[in-house]
A = this chain, B = another copy of it.
Amino acid sequence: MRPVRLKDVARDLGVSLMTVSRALRNHPDIGEQTRARVLKRVEELNYQPDWMARGMVTGRSYLVGLVIPDLMHSFFAEIAMAVSAKLTPLGYQVVIANTEEQVLTEERHVSVLLGRKVDGLIIASAQRNARSPMFRSIAGCKVPLVLIDRFVKGAEASYAGSDDEGIGDLATTHLIEEGCRRVAHIKGPPLSTGRGRLQGFRLAMKRAGLPVDEQYVVPGDISDTAGYDAMRGLLKLPKPPDGVFCYSDPVAAGAMKAITEAGFSIPGDVAIVGAGNVHYSDLLRVPLSTVDQGCSRIGEGAADLLVRAMEHREMTPPELVLVGPRLIVRESSRRTS
């Protein structure tokens, strides 16, 4: 049973192929009853338009590529869901590509996506350089691009993400207000997110008139194991910090594990704040204070920006969506009542 084609429906009905095609797409140039008759038969025969053939001639694939570093991080999973939810009702299908934070994997994925003639691309890039071949070929194909989460300076693209400096500031200020005096920061990756949060951290410390001990600013990453390791290092210091702002919730979760294992209490000995408000933060060892990034709003924002760009045939100027951070205080940082 080969799939039903337009031609089959047409012959079955004794009309021309074009009539069916038009009826299907609500073309105005068609009689009301003819359309009804066609639509009915199309339904009965369970005809499915062939999107490849359609795309071939219209130049639109109705495919959108979503390139992210790690689906397992609920932050990206949530973004992926928000993007899908926005795009699916508009007839787009989302192809998700996992880069595992590898630049090379990312480039390969994008290259294939481009070959598939995606109508648009949403990328949380592991790249730092807008002059990389990847960005050049995207620009070359004139495929609308929206960057999310990580901003890449110089890339001709819209961006949806959070105000990272604000996140760092908010979290750090909160720790200071809770009475922490030796505040540490476990850094994220050297991308806009990590750098922004670090900057926010410094800003808040400076504003409070607290010195930043560089021993307290340690490299981490995006994973809980990185947070665990970094925290163990901090605890070995002669004077361990009494408050830690962690790049992300997974990092914070790992850090908390290290603290508990070392026999310290949270928040009594060390207060912790993460970022991201991942879904399970509330269920952790000690419910985790965090800065909500509004990931679904980032996803929705990205989808909106992309749709707008895709519907214009001509290049649209890059736009920005910055989602404001929101502090969520839970047990891990509550020292005063």
Contacts from A to B (Cβ < 8 Å): 1, 3, 46, 48-53, 55-56, 61, 71-72, 74, 77-78, 80-81, 84-85, 88, 93-98, 109, 111-117, 137, 140-142, 224, 250, 253-254, 256-257, 279-280, 282-286
Contact = CB atoms under 8 A, between A and B. Distances in A.
Most chain B CB within 10 A, of A49, A50, A51, A282, is at: A51
Copies of this protein chain in the complex: 2
Given A56-B56, A71-B71, A81 B98 contact: yes
Nearest to A227: B283
A46 to B, nearest CB: 7
Contacts of A95: 93-96
Given A1-B142, A140-B1, A51 B116 contact: yes
A140 B48 CA distance: 12
A282 B254 CA distance: 10
A52 B48 contact: no
B117 A50 contact: yes
Interface of A is mostly: helix
Contact of A280 (B84, B141, B280): B280
Contacts of A112: 51, 93
Given A1-B142, A72-B74, 19 more contacts: A1-B141, A3-B114, A49-B115, A51-B112, A51-B115, A51-B117, A52-B55, A52-B61, A52-B116, A71-B81, A72-B77, A72-B78, A74-B74, A81-B98, A85-B98, A94-B96, A95-B96, A284-B285, A285-B285
A46 B137 contact: yes
A3 B141 CA distance: 6
A48 B114 contact: yes
A95 to B, nearest CB: 5
Nearest to A112: B93
A317 to B, nearest CB: 19
5 closest A-B pairs (Cβ-Cβ)? A48-B115, A253-B283, A52-B52, A71-B77, A51-B116
Contact of A81 (B72, B85, B113): B72
A19 to B, nearest CB: 20
